Amino acid sequence: MSHPLEDVRILELGQIIAGTYGSQVLSDLGAEVIKIEAPEGDLGRIPSVAPYRGLSGLFLTFNRNKQSVVINLKSAEGRQLFYDLVKISDVVIDNFRPGVLERLQIDYPTLNKINPRIIHCSVTGFGGAGAYKDLPALDLNIQAISGHMAITGEAGRPPVRVGIPLADISGGIYSSKGILAALFDRERTGKGRRIEISMFDTMLHLLTYMGTMWLTNGEVPKPPGSAHDYSVPWQAFATTDGYIAVATRQEIFWHKLCSVLDHPDLAGDPCFADNPSRVKNRQVLVPLLEQIFRTRTTADWLERLRGADVPAAPVNNIDAAFAEPPVGEREMIVEYDHPQVGKVRLPGNPIKMSDMGKTISRPAPLLGEHTDAVLKTLLRLTAEEIAGLHESGAVGEKKLTKDSGSIKENA
* Side chain identity, residue 111: L
- 191 vs 193: CA distance, rounded Å: 7
Helices 21-28 and 166-189: angle between axes, nearest 10 degrees: 60
Q: What's CA 243's distance to the chain center, in Å?
A: 27
- 159 vs 371: CA distance, rounded Å: 45
Torsion of CA 224, 227, 228, 231, to 10 degrees: -150
The sign one gets for the Cα dihedral 56, 59, 65, 68 is negative
Q: Is 160 exposed, middle or buried (0-12, 13-18, 19+ CB in 10 A)?
A: middle
Kindly report the length of the chain.
411
Is 168 labeled as catalytic in the residue annotation? Answer: yes
Phi, psi at residue 408, to the nearest 5°? -60, -35
Q: Which residues pair with 344 in a beta bridge?
A: 336
Catalytic residue selected from 42, 90, 94, 168? 168
Number of CB atoms found within 10 A of residue 19's CB: 30
Task: Give me the active site residues, please.
Answer: 168
